[in-house]
Structure formats: C-alpha cells, structure tokens
A and B are shown apart, each in its own frame.
Chain A
Amino acid sequence: MAAQNKIINNFSITIATVNGSGSQTANTTLLRALFKMGIPVSGKNLFPSNIQGLPTWYTIRVSKDGFTARRDEQEVFVCMNPASFEKDLAEVLPGGAFFYADHIKNPITRTDISVYPMPIRKLVKTADVSPGLRDYIANMIYVGILAHTLGIDLEKIHSALDFHFKGKPKPIESNINMVKAGAEWASKNLSKSDPYWVEPMDKTKGLIMADGNTAGALGAIYGGVQFAAWYPITPASSLAESLNEYLPKLRKNAEGKHTYAVVQAEDELSAIGMTVGAGWSGLRSMTSTSGPGLSLMTEYAGMAYFAEVPIVVWDVQRIGPSTGLPTRTSQGDLTFTNFMGHGDTQHVILLPGSVNECFEFGSLALDLAEHLQTPIFVLSDLDLGMNQWMTDAFRYPDKPLDRGKVLWEEDLEKIKGDWGRYKDIDGDGIPYRTLVGNRHPKSGYFARGTGHDEYARYSENPQVWEANMNRLRIKYKTARTIVPKPIIDSSEKSDIGIITFGSNEPAVYEARTILKLEGITTDYLRLRAIPFTNEVAEFVKSHKRVYIVETNHDGQLNQLITIELPGQAKKFKSICLDNGLSLSASWIKEKIQGMEAK
C-alpha cells in the first residue's frame, strides 16, 4: 500500500470477546505495548455485570495527538464472539479492518472493509499448554495477528506481558509463544488491505499507565492512611484490594509490624461505621464504595458531619438509580453526596479528573478530613477508576501530613484542661479535639449525634442548636478557602465558558480542540472540589454563556452551580449524557455547536 494512504497512530481498535474468556490480559497487553512504543493510547473496557458468558468489548484508542477520550467510531475490529458478530461487523467504519475467529460462520455482509478471518482454533492446538488453558491463551493469537498487521513491536508485547505476569517466566513464555504463532501466521497468510498502522513515537515519556482505583489507594498509603473498612462492590472493589496489595509492602515498620489495619466489613453500614469509629479515635480513616453502598452509608455520613469526625469516603460512581447498570460509568452521585444526610447537611467533595489526581487526592482527602474534622468525599467513577490511563508519574507529597487541631496531654496541661470539644477558638469554625488514649483527666468527652453544646454536653436548647449549626457553616466557608482550586484555561478570551469535572476532562479537551478548528473558541474550567472556590464565580461572571458538561441525566453540577450563583443562572446551559458510556468529543462538539447556532 502506498505510504501516503497509510493512517498512522490515529484510530481505534475494538475487541469483542466473551466475558470471562481471559481477554483482559490480551487487551491490556496490546494497550501497554503501544504505550511502550511511545504512542499515546487509552483503553476502555465495556463489560457486562456477569462472571462468564456475556459479550464484552475493549476499545483501544491510538492517538498521535494525545487524545484519550472515548470515540464513537471504530476503524479496526477484532471479533471473537459469535453472539455479537453481526452487530460488530455493522459497526466498523467504511475502509476499516475486521478480524474475526474463523470458526464463526456468520455471513460477511460488507464489501467496504478489509476482512481477515483468523484460524484461532487451529493455531491454539499447536500450543504446548494444557487444554484448560487454551481458551485463555487463544486471545494471544489475535494479539500476534494484530501486531503483525498494524506494526506493533513484538519486543514491547513481550515486556508488556512481563509487566502483566510480574516477571513469572512460565506464563510469559506460553503467552508470547502464542503471540509469535499469530504473528507468524499473519506474515505468511494475511495480505493487508487496510490503511491502519502504528509507528513508534516519543510521546509517553514521563508518563505511567495505571487505573484510578490503584492510584487512589496508593495516594492514601502515601497520605498515611491507618484504617480502611470496605465492602465489595463494582466498580470500587479494586480500590480496597489495592490497599490490601500495597499496604503490606509499604507500611511495615522496622519490627515488621503493620502501621495500618484494613477490615472487610459485613455491609456498607458497618464499613462506614468502622471508619467513623477509627476516625474519631484518631486514625486516618477511609472507606470506598459505589452508589448503592453510598446510599447505605447515608446515616453515618450525616452523623460524622454533625459529630465532626474526620473520614474519607471514596465513591467510584456507576450508573443508577438503584442497582442500575453496575458495570457502566456515570457522575450521578454528585447532588446526593453534596447533601448526603437528613437535616441540613453540606459535604466537602473532591473531584479527581485524572489518574494522577486520584493519587494526589488520595492523600489530600485525609489531610482535609483531619484539618476540617468532617467527612471528605472523593467522587471518582468507573471509567477513571477501572480503566488504564496514561498519566503523569505519581509525585511524592511535598507537605507533611496535616493532622488538624489535636490536643494531647501536654497541650491540655498548658491550658489547664480548659477546652470545649465544639468551641470555636480560632474563628474558622474548626474546634479542637482530643483522641482516645489521652490520659489527661480533662481529655475525655462524649461524642454524639444528638444536640450538643460547646463542651459536647447533651443539649436541646434552641440557641445552642442554632449556634452549632451556624458554626458548621463557618467551617464550610473555611473549606472553600482550602479545597483544590479549579483548573482554568481562559486563554481564548472567549464569550463561551465550559465547566466540567472528573473523567470528562479528556473529552472536553478534545471537543474544545475540534470546536476551535471549526471557529468556536472556548474557555475552560475543570472543577476539582465542592464547596466552590471564588474562582468559579469569577469564571462564570466573565463569560456570557457557560456550558456545564457532565455525565448524568439531570445536570447535577448545573443544579449545584445554579444554587450557588442564582443571579448567573441564565447563562448556564446544561449538556449531559447518561447512558452508561463516557463522553465523546464529537458528541460534546455537536451539542455546543448546535446550541451556539440557536
């Protein structure tokens, strides 16, 4: 094929397999091999709520320009699943490439694409592995065929396998042998008629490839987490499992003792209950869950807010209401979390927008919780939490741990034991606390979710109640000044502003790039925390139209910003999508273009 017709490093590969068939190893190996070639990539797993048998798709986007958002278009397709064959075949872009396992006997109904049958079963029989492993290893054949056809470096595939199998020679060898068998077959038998190629670049230097849940766990570990309780739930489980993986390696002291404890609870009620108990007793304490678990945590969240107990709650969001689509992404817990609890409750929320930020906020959330003596919610999502992303290498924290206002024996000695647990000495709404084990005779107090005065004594007095609630509002104001500020790009000096948060970042970034090519410039604000800092109001005030882009049904950030800035509400234009998929740039672009044309 003539060189000028080649399409290099700018397409998507989707692999259709049967859930539970071990394709995840093959797919992430491809992803990491491309990353190791220096080509910007992203990978998204679209999987069912099922252990084995239902269709699953994995999409790898190769982008020389560094775009990592989901695309709606797929140029290269690998179909290993008879059940999805017809649909998959229909989805390939004209001019695209369609690889399929040749034991699937469905008719090929298209002539506008390159079609490559692959003798998967025949090749796998030649492998020197037990029959039970054949299904798993069969996926490595398409890795080999793709490697040959697209030009992926086999050495990089080898080192990606080395990464996956943590250097264990046996599985690495049996897998790479299958890859080689696939590549060899392709070199002898497959004549390439599609234009898609990869070529090495140098655009992944300084980057690592990780998922947000691992990053969040590592962030917490470097942030000194001491206690975690959790209950299994997709898509949050891997966060706690990462704690269990890394804590024993990173947090044993010189005597081999653990400076932490992780407990798998009986349900989310208990997971947060344990977290509150640990937070109250002075441990840096966290739990991690997703929507249904968060619902169960509500009562304790309200109590922790009111009794002023530092805890961190990670919510790796999936789509709801109810059980919803347990394996699909969403940002639908924003308003719920903001007000979580009965009575007047307002929580502090962190909104990481990248894997690196999951790491950073893993630590920061623990600092803020102890500083503010309140629950800190970190809202990630399935897309960010479970998919592998290129991201900046994790940076070692540059500040000491913030343990907040704690009085130990010597502190109480100095003030002759004259203190009140809920007394606002400093005017920032944040009182002082003592921790269990403090032996000073004035150290103890009785924490409670019932009405209490400045000395933590039970009180039903109306003035006492009001004064306490007012102080909690002062504390919330203090939070405004210390939570992470938004990321802002106002360099276009446009009338149009876009506000978004979390994992929407790559799609919005790409949409702005395309919009600009088509003559629409935009400024940008990515929110990183609630309460809103002053920068949000300033950004809104300095733009005529503000598009609020989010992945939920009702435009929840739009709702919260409208409450925050009612006078500016006319400017807000809500763009939201809630179908289980992450946003694509072309969808955002079309929405904004359409609304601008009106």
Chain B
Amino acid sequence: MAIPVTNTNQIGLQKNDYKGLPSTLCQGCGHNSISNQIITACYELGLVPEEILKFSGIGCSSKSPAYFLERSFGFNSLHGRMAPLATGAVFADTSLKALGVSGDGDTASIGMSGFKHMLRRNTPMVYIVENNGVYGLTKGQFSATAEVGLSLKHQGTNPYMPVDICMEAIISNATFVGRSFAGDPKQVKELIKAALNHRGVAVLDIISPCVTFNNQVNAFHSYTWGKDHEAPLHEISFVPKLDEIILADDFMPGTVTEVCLHDGSMIVLKKLEKDYDPTDRWQALHMLEESQRNNWLVTGLIYIECDTPTLTDRHNLPDTPLNRLTDKDLRPAPETLDQINSSML
C-alpha cells in the first residue's frame, strides 16, 4: 500500500511552523546546523511551538534562538545570565518545555556560577552549549574552553587549561549530560530529542566550529578535527513513548542499552567499540578524564539519571499553572491578617 506523502507532523504542523527568522550568523557556522536540528527534532517530536520556551545569553550562540521556533516565547537575556532567568521562568507553567542555547564564553566564563547552580537545582530545561572555543562576536578571543596551546592569528597562543563543560556538569550533579559535534547532525538531533524528553536539566555540549575565527585543521573545535577525531560512545536513537520499539536485525542482544525516560519514551544506545554505561557517574568522569588527556572528541550520551526530582517538583506547586492563578488563590483571607495583627500586640 502506498504511504501518502505528508508534509505535516502528528499534530498537523508543517516544518515551517518550527522555523525562525533567517540566520545572521556566518555561512557554515556550526550554530546554524544546530538550529536546524532543533527545528527538525521539535517537528519530528510533534511539539507545540507555544509550549516551548527559548532562552539564551549573549554571543553568537545566543542570537540563534531567533532563528528557530519563531512561534515560541523566548528571552535573549544577559551575558552569562541565562541560567537564573530560565530558573525563574520555569515556575510559571510546568507543562512547558524550556530550551536554552548558550555559548562557551557565556557558560564556562561569565556564567559559570549560574550554570553550575542551575545544574545542582535540576532546573527542568535543555541547556545547549554551542562550543567553539572562541568569542566570535567580539572577533575571536580565546574562550575558557579553548585548548591550551591553541594559536590564533590575532590572539597568540592560549596559555591556560580548558574547562570541560561535561565534566563540570557531572560534578555539579547534572542529571543529563551529552556531548556532540555540529558536523554529526543525526546524533545532535537524537540527543536533542532525548534531552527534550528528560525530566530535569539536560546539558548538551555541542562542538560547533567557528568558521571565521577557529576552524584551523588542527584546532580541537574545527570541522576537520571533529570529522577526523569524533569518537561516538554509541549510536543513539530516541524512541517516543507511543512508538513500538522494533529492534533491527543487527541489534543483537548485548549490543543495545535502553534508557527509559520519565514519560515512557526511550533512548536506545547501540554499542560501538566499547561497553559504556551512561548511568554510571564514575565511569562517565573516568571517560571524560581519559578523553581530556588524549584530546579525544568523545560524543554521545555521557551521563543520565532519570528519577531525580526537578527544581519545580521540589516546590509542591498546584496543577494549575502558577501564572494562571487569580486573586482568590493568591491573597490570603482577611481573618488571617487579623490573627497576624493580634499576634503582634
């Protein structure tokens, strides 16, 4: 039977409904590729654009939320201050999904404190770091994730050790940590889908080359380096809860790990070279340490824990969104004030 060609998703929206304004970033910028994967992931998941909140800080990466999900509410905040802004905003209506895009300067330099505290609170949001090792918008200065010894035309040589965002995230008790490469769009998309269905904070550190300032062949954050050196931990697929999981023939027992998410959807990880258990924090840190020493670009789902209460879970909120409560919910009865007054005599 012929399958009718359809250009709408399960909620009847077209891909255009998930698009944004034309990008003003450089041609070939890794960020544009990530924006495209955000669009595709949301389209394929059948999310309602009005049910997604976009956040960003300041920098090239932080401009990008204008280039996807135009129908969604968004807030382009201050440099390094996306995390607290999103933390306040997610209380309003917990039925919404929050998706933030930040950069390596925004997250690992000016915003490090807010980033790490957001993680320890398990603020329910997807936090994407478009990591290119430089400050693009101010013309190419080193960022905190630039590798030691990196030489740039106008900057000289970077003398300092880099910050590993995934390692910082894990030791700050993040509940979902992934690393990917903008040049591996399929993995980026599957990780975004999984992250959007994770209950809690999901950090995606995506190496996203800056074609203008840091794309030399030997630079860690370049396309060439990434293409040549990316070492995926596994082949990742996200399976929504409604789909029946049919394992392909080559998914032999013992080669596939399934991680069940809170909403019943599933992350299927197909084993590649080595066994890797993303629910093992110790193994995750060990792997990151080893990768850092050897300058490996290891990608995939690095760490996940599914049952940790989120920030908003811990606040015992009503079912009605807080921002739809009215006077009668928000103002205590007059007699309570009489009691307070008489307690202060």
Contact = CB atoms under 8 A, between A and B. Distances in A.
A446 B96 CA distance: 16
Given A270-B117, A274-B84, A36 B345 contact: yes
A261 B66 contact: no
Nearest to A228: B88
B220 to A, nearest CB: 30
Interface in A222-281: 222-224, 226-227, 229, 246, 250-251, 253, 255-261, 263, 265-267, 269-281
Interface string B295-320: 00000000000000001100111110
A270 B113 contact: yes
Contact of B86 (A222, A275, A277): A277
Interface in A328-344: none
Interface string B45-57: 0001111011000
Contacts of B71: 441, 444
Contact of A436 (B48, B49, B89, B331): B89
A441 B89 CA distance: 20
Contacts of B330: 224, 226, 251, 259, 284, 401
Contacts of A117: none
Nearest to A450: B76
A275 B88 contact: yes
18 contacts: A226-B91, A250-B336, A251-B332, A257-B319, A259-B318, A261-B322, A265-B84, A266-B114, A269-B114, A270-B114, A276-B77, A276-B85, A277-B75, A393-B344, A401-B327, A436-B93, A437-B93, A446-B74
Nearest to B20: A446
B160 interface: no
Interface in B76-122: 76-78, 81, 83-93, 95-96, 113-114, 117, 121
Interface string B28-58: 0000000000000000000011110110000
Contact of A227 (B50, B84, B91, B318): B91
B327 A400 contact: yes
Given A250-B336, A265-B84, A277-B84, A448 B76 contact: yes
B324 interface: yes
Contact of B84 (A259, A273, A441, A445): A273
A118 to B, nearest CB: 30
Interface residues of B toward A: which range?
Answer: 35 or more
A222 B332 contact: yes
B50 A276 contact: no
Given A394-B341, A444-B71, A435 B76 contact: no
A278 B321 CA distance: 13
Given A208-B344, A222-B331, A261-B317, 4 more contacts: A226-B330, A266-B113, A269-B113, A300-B81
A285 interface: yes
A226 B334 CA distance: 19
A233 to B, nearest CB: 17
Contact of A229 (B70, B88, B322): B88
A32 B87 CA distance: 42
A30 interface: no
Contacts of A450: 76
A250 B66 CA distance: 41
Contacts of B344: 208-210, 393
Interface string A344-355: 000000000000
Contacts of A300: 78, 81
A227 B76 contact: no
Interface pairs A-B: 5 shortest CB-CB: A277-B88, A273-B84, A282-B323, A224-B330, A281-B92
B88 to A, nearest CB: 3
A547 B342 CA distance: 39
A397 interface: yes
A453 to B, nearest CB: 13
B244 to A, nearest CB: 30
B127 to A, nearest CB: 14
B72 interface: yes
B329 interface: yes
A447 interface: yes
B73 interface: yes
A437 B324 contact: yes
A441 B14 CA distance: 14
B72 A444 contact: yes
A16 interface: no
B313 to A, nearest CB: 11
Contacts of B133: none
Interface string A179-214: 000000000000000000000000000001110000
Interface centre among A36, A269, A446 (most CB of B within 10 A): A446
Contacts of B323: 226, 281-283, 435-437
A14 interface: no
Nearest to A275: B88
Given A210-B344, A269-B84, A273-B114, A440 B50 contact: yes
Contacts of B50: 437-441, 443-444
B1 interface: no
